[in-house]
Amino acid sequence: MPLIVKLLVQRIALGLFLLLLVSALIFAGTIILPGDVAQSILGQSATPEALANLRAELGLNEPALQRYFSWLGGLMQGDLGTALTSGRDIGESIAQRLSNTLFLAFWAAIVAVPLAIFLGLLAVRYRERWPDKAISGVTLASISIPEFLIGYVLMFFFGVKMGWFYPTAAAFRPDAPLLDKLDAIALPVATLTLVVLAHMMRMTRAAILNVMQSAYIETAELKGLNSFQVIYRHAFPNAIAPIVNVVMLNLAYLVVGVVVIEVVFVYPGMGQYLVDSVSKRDVPVVQACGIIFAAVYIGLNMIADIVAILSNPRLRHPK
């Protein structure tokens, strides 16, 4: 088997193994801790009978390991269980919300990725001059403010004061025409873009600067190419692998940002479902949402590594 295939298979197997361990960790996080699920649902004043009934209903009297495997078995067959509070099938409730969340994250990525790469290139081109410094300043400011506050600042100025966009995503309907949907999510997309932009831009800048120190860049400069050509034709292609890596890591970060931003803009996605369920102590829903978020996160990290393997010429053309 060629080396590259072996590496890819190894990386995918590692990702699946990690996901398995993470499922155990998430399950353990809700079960083995000192808190008792039944107690925390019913509160301290619950009668012993009510507690015993709920424990029996939740299957808490069975050994933890057995419950974990039956939960895991259900997951493998796509059965996410039943919500405690509504008694509804979790899979059904999640399907629409997951697609809403992916819709939001997708459009945020479509805006953020090209913008970050362009601004990163700009920062390299005008290194140590005002565009570079302005970009660094904005970066520092945006990593110093929590994402939900960025959301409210945009909502206040552009949604309420100027009235350019819908202040919240309450107008979002999954079956509306695409343009109406985009109109409804303009501010959440802008917020998520700002959240990941700074980091992505800075790492793009670093990746290209790293390449810029190579000898072939000096050659290109000496043969009289202008600086945009040097960056675009010589530095950028060699910086693609690290940049793709940056993009993937930031998309993974977007998955977390989305949880908070959905709450800010009242967007009917997975994040809001997760947060609601945590405050209602609906443990099966929390576990299901947790494992889905973790799977997306691990998956994106895995893709980042796979791209890195594929783009490494020494692995593609083994001696």
Partner 1 sequence: MRIPLAAAIGMFFTALYFLAAIFAPLLAPYGYDEVVSSGFWDPPSAEFLLGTDGIGRDLLSRMIYGGRTTIFVATAATILSFTTGSVLGFLAAVAGGWVDQLLSRFVDLLMSIPSLIFALVVLSVMPVTLPVLIVVMGLLDSTRVFRLSRAVAVDIEVMDYVEAARLRGEKTAWIIFREILPNALSPLVAEMGLRFIFMVLFVSTLSFLGLGIQPPQADWGGIVKENAEGIVYGAPAALMPAFAIATLAISVNLVADWILNRTTSLKGGRG
Site for partner 1, rule CB under 8 A: 18, 21-22, 25-26, 29-31, 33-37, 40, 140-141, 143-150, 152-153, 155-156, 160-161, 167-168, 252-253, 255-256, 259-260, 263-264, 274-275, 277-279, 281-283, 286-287, 290, 293-294, 297-298, 301
CA 285/CA 301 separation, integer angstroms:
24
Range 270-280 burial, b when 16+ CB lie within 10 A, else e: bbbbbbebeee
Q: Give whichever of 3 and 153 is closer to partner 1, judged by the CB atom.
A: 153
**Which residues 6+ apart lie within 8 Å of 274 measured at CB?**
259, 285, 286, 289, 290, 293
Residues 308, 239: Cα–Cα separation, whole Å: 11
Q: Please, which residue, 73 or 146, has the CB nearer to partner 1?
A: 146
Give the shortest CB-148-to-partner 1 separation in angstroms: 5
In the complex, what is the shortest distance from the CB of residue 266 to partner 1, in angstroms, rounded to a whole number?
A: 10
In contact, 11 and 306? CB cutoff 8 Å? yes
Nearer to partner 1, 18 or 51 (CB): 18
Burial of 53 (0-12, 13-18, 19+ CB in 10 A): middle
Which is closer to partner 1, CB of 122 or CB of 184?
A: 184
Q: Which residue, 110 or 160, is less far from partner 1 as judged by CB?
A: 160
Nearer to partner 1, 236 or 297 (CB): 297
Place of tokens 């302005």: 134
The least distance separating partner 1 from the CB of residue 32, rounded to whole angstroms, comes to: 10
DSSP 91-105: HHHHHHHHHHHHHHH
Shortest approach of partner 1 to residue 203 CB, angstroms? 16
Q: How many helices (H) and strands (E) does the chain have?
A: 15, 0
Smallest distance from partner 1 to CB 89, Å = 19
Rounded least distance, CB 19 to partner 1, Å? 9
